[in-house]
Amino acid sequence: TVSVCNLRPESRGTVHIGAPDPQSAPKIRPNYLSTEGDRTVAVASLRHVRRLMKARAIARFAPEEMLPGAHYESDEDLVRKAGDIGTTIFHPVGTCKMGADSTAVVDRRLRVHGISGLRVVDASIMPTIVSGNTNSPVVM
C-alpha cells in the first residue's frame, strides 16, 4: 500500500463550540486543501506515486491504483479526489495553539488566556504540525 501525506500543510481549519451544552459536539471545519500550495502538493504527490509504481523494480508486481483511480488525470480531478479521500492521519494540532497573538489559546506555560487555573497539555497547543508522530514532542 502506498499513501501520500502532506507533512507541512498550509491550510487551517477551525473548531468552535457548537452550543451552550458542553456535551454537544463541536463545529469542526477542517478546510483541507484550502490553499493553492496544499493543492499543488496533493497533485504532485499523486503524480509522483504513479511514476514510482511504473519503475521497473515495482512495475513487475503489477500494482493497481485503487484510489483515486488511474482514470483521474487532470489537476482539477486529482485535487477533488484528494479532498474526497484525504484524512488527518490522526495527528491534528493547533486547535488550542500556543502564542501571544489573537488566535492563540495558551501562553508558553500552557495556561489558557483569560482563565485562571486552566492549562492545555497536548498536541493541540502546537501552532503547526511536526513532520513526524506528535507523541514524542508532546511527552517531552
pLDDT, one tens digit per residue, over 22-80 is 999 999 999 999 999 999 999 999 999 999 999 999 999 999 999 999 999 999 999 99
Tell me the one-letter amino acid at 58.
I
Residue 119, SS3?
A: strand
Q: Let me know if 113 is a catalytic residue.
A: no
Number of domains in the chain: 2
Angle between the 75-85 and 36-53 helix axes, to the nearest 10 degrees? 90
Contacts with 42 (C-beta within 8 Å, 6 or more apart), sequence order:
4, 6, 33, 78, 79, 82, 86
State the DSSP code for 98.
Answer: B
- Residue 89 has a pLDDT of 82
Does 15 lie in the same domain as 73?
Answer: yes
Does 97 lie in the same domain as 61?
Answer: no
Does 126 lie in the same domain as 109?
Answer: yes
pTM recorded for the entire structure = 0.85
| Catalytic member of 16, 48, 91, 113 | 91
Does 73 lie in the same domain as 4?
Answer: yes
Longest dimension (CA), the chain: 63
Phi/psi of residue 18, nearest 5 degrees: -85, -25
Does 137 lie in the same domain as 123?
Answer: yes
Domain region containing 126: 90-140
pLDDT tens sequence across 71-111 = 999 999 999 999 999 888 888 898 999 999 998 999 999 99
Does 1 lie in the same domain as 38?
Answer: yes
Does 75 lie in the same domain as 16?
Answer: yes
